[in-house]
Chain A
Amino acid sequence: MSLAVGCRARPGKARDNKTGSWRVFKPVFGKEKCTLCGLCMTLCPEGCVHETEEGFITPDYTYCKGCGICAQECPGEAIEMKQEEK
């Protein structure tokens, strides 16, 4: 690895770091109770919760650290934290 002058890095290169491996509890999004309010998308510190093409909201498990903020703050209690099976 050669050092660039001034320690430059490509924008968003942190994506190489797959933080999903940190997870102990996994947020499981229930489609029935979800009202698509989008609060989980706003409050996720990783910014990994997004809307799929089918119109459901789901986290990117490659990066989700399983902090549980989405489950805690969901007004419809549509998100459940489940122990990760590895």
Chain B
Amino acid sequence: MVDKTLELFDCGHRACGGCGAALAARLVTKAAGTNTIVVSATGCMEVFSTPYPETAWKVPWIHSLFENASAVASGVEASLKKQGRTEKVVIMAGDGATFDIGMICISGAFERGHDFTYICYDNEAYMNTGIQRSGATPYDASTTTSPAGKCSFGNKRPKKDIPQIIAAHGAPYVATASIAYPADLMQKVEKAINTVGPCYIQVHAPCCTGWGFEGEQTIAVAKLAIETGLWVNYEMVDGKVVKAKKVVRKPVEEYLKTQKRFRHLFKPTRQDAEIATIQAIADRNAEKYAIDIKLKKE
């Protein structure tokens, strides 16, 4: 059993007040325990947790480059295996390092079948360098490289479905989680760590600075993403969805209105067609993962 009272991601890191990724790191290390080696890709978390000579990590931690976290983890895992050691390897990478830059190394590592757990904290853009769009940026979000204005409503492409791509590599356990449901997140991390083979968990981690909301709202925003159906918490075992969190769905507007990155959909004029397109994304999610709770009609 892992002692969940230990703080393995310590105070003093330089994340913004109300950072979703910092909370994700705390919960993941809590669930993983002390017998863990963390490999980080470049990203906001790597920068705010380890400005030299400081480190917030209390477990062995290594960082090399943006693109090669899974290749480094592969080497660490192979070496531990050869030495007969029992440490578990956990990768912590952002959505930029996972969806875009690290894709080649990830594909290779999952295909080779190393025994590690890959955690992607998904804050839906390159937050560290100033909010540039990534493959994880949702439809119509305004970022510095997909700015909303007279000619555009922001990011034109929908979010890439990485969990399905990873599952297609034959990963035994793939899951999505959210910082708004910490017990569920920690349970999934434990399950992934105890599963032999490469496992993947994508954690929805709102970024108050990048998305444009007050730091205190981080959990509320993460919860709204689930309640509107724009984020689905599910588990895939051997490529099949075995469990998905069911909700009584709210209209997507409630989620969009909380964030400045979607402000152009409401001001100066309300863009009904664009909001309907985003609602259709949520409806498709709901159908695909069967998350709707059917209320009995009175």
Docked-complex contact A69 and B219, CB < 8 angstroms: yes
Q: A14-B49, A42-B182 are in contact. Are A73 and B55 (CB under 8 A)?
A: no
Asked if A1 is at the interface of the complex by the 8 Å CB criterion, the answer is yes
Asked if B59 is at the interface of the complex by the 8 Å CB criterion, the answer is yes
Q: Indicate the size class of the contact surface on chain A.
A: 20 to 34
Contact pick for B52, options A9, A11, A47, CB 8 Å: A9
Docked-complex contact B13 and A14, CB < 8 angstroms: yes
| A residues apposed to B, CB below 8 Å | 1, 7, 9-19, 22-23, 42-48, 60, 62-63, 65-69, 71-73, 81
Cα distance, A24 to B52, chains bound together (Å):
27
Docked-complex contact B22 and A45, CB < 8 angstroms: yes
Residues of B within 8 A of A7 (CB): 52-53
Asked if B158 is at the interface of the complex by the 8 Å CB criterion, the answer is no
Chain A interface helix/strand/loop/mixed: loop
Total inter-chain residue pairs, C-beta < 8 Å: 105
Contact pick for A45, options B12, B15, B54, CB 8 Å: B15
Chain B interface helix/strand/loop/mixed: loop
Docked-complex contact B18 and A45, CB < 8 angstroms: yes
Min CB gap A21→B, angstroms? 11
| B residues apposed to A, CB below 8 Å | 7, 9-20, 22-23, 26-27, 49-50, 52-59, 182, 214-220
Interface CB pairs A-B, < 8 A, 12 = A12-B57, A12-B58, A13-B54, A13-B55, A14-B13, A43-B219, A45-B15, A45-B19, A46-B11, A47-B11, A67-B216, A69-B215
Residues of A within 8 A of B53 (CB): 1, 7, 9, 13
Docked-complex contact B59 and A11, CB < 8 angstroms: yes
Docked-complex contact B26 and A47, CB < 8 angstroms: yes
Min CB gap B16→A, angstroms? 8
Q: A7-B52, A14-B56 are in contact. Are A68 and B18 (CB under 8 A)?
A: yes
Residues of A within 8 A of B15 (CB): 45
Name the residue of chain B whose CB is nearest to the CB of A23: B17
